[in-house]
Amino acid sequence: MEGLYEVRRLTSALELGRGLRNQACSLFTTLHDAGLAQGRSLHAIAAVAVYVTCRVNELPWTQTDVLEVADCDRSLFRATLQAARQEVGLELPPRQPTAFIPRLVSAVEAPDSVRERATEIVASLPVEAYTGTRPTGVAAACIYAAAQEQEVSITQAELAQKADVTTVTLRARLNVIRDVLEGR
């Protein structure tokens, strides 16, 4: 089946292991058998299966990461994901900011001490401080706060770009984090 080949291609491009590939293939088959393929792109269903597999396994791959290697556009992907949630009852666990910290720290070439401090900052935040926000933005803001504490030079623009958020989002999350850290 063409869709399973696409799942295999995507998991290979994202360097996911055999277990995750098999899980994504199984999810693709479930979505296909549930009738989601009728009138929809198999490439979009494959991309959704890979994205959901990453998310369920708490891997730091975002929709953007999957779409960079997928053969479908963002609007088609999102429509297929929404259909999977509504028509098939697919549930996605919330993303935790801590999942993105190691990858972002590596992307901006910050030292391990920044990663450790950023992880501590996330752990100190009440869930309400980031519920309903993009976890990549929260992770980026925690990394930026940790870098500033340790006088490590990282620009907001660079970090926002690596986190796939705007600098406005990063600053908004940073303000919330600073308020929490200062006890306001």
Write down the domain spans for the chain. 2-87, 97-181
Question: Cα(9)–Cα(132) distance, rounded to whole angstroms?
Answer: 32
- What pLDDT score does 139 carry? 94
Q: Report which of 106, 107, 137, 103 is spatially closest to residue 122, judged by C-alpha positions.
A: 137
Question: Cα(119)–Cα(84) distance, rounded to whole angstroms?
Answer: 33
Question: Cα(62)–Cα(30) distance, rounded to whole angstroms?
Answer: 22
In sequence order, what are the residues at sequence separation of 6 or more whose Cβ sits closer than 8 angstroms to the Cβ of residue 99? 58, 59, 60, 135, 139
Residue-level pLDDT, tens digit, the chain, 184 residues = 788 999 999 999 999 999 999 999 999 999 999 999 888 999 999 999 999 999 999 898 889 999 999 989 999 999 999 999 998 898 888 888 999 999 999 999 999 999 999 999 999 988 887 878 889 999 999 999 999 999 999 999 999 999 989 999 999 999 988 888 887 6
- What pLDDT score does 184 carry? 60
In sequence order, what are the residues at sequence separation of 6 or more whose Cβ sits closer than 8 angstroms to the Cβ of residue 117? 146, 149, 150
Tell me the fold of 97-181.
Cyclin A; domain 1 (1.10.472)
Question: Cα(40)–Cα(37) distance, rounded to whole angstroms?
Answer: 5
Structure tokens at 116: 């450790």
Would you say 55 and 23 are in contact if contact means Cβ atoms under 8 Å apart?
A: no
For residue 15, how many other CB atoms are within 10 A of its CB?
Answer: 8
- What pLDDT score does 148 carry? 94
- What pLDDT score does 58 carry? 87
User: Which numeric CATH code is attached to 2-87?
Assistant: 1.10.472.10
Structure tokens at 157: 């623009």
Domains 2-87 and 97-181 share a fold: yes
For residue 73, how many other CB atoms are within 10 A of its CB?
Answer: 13
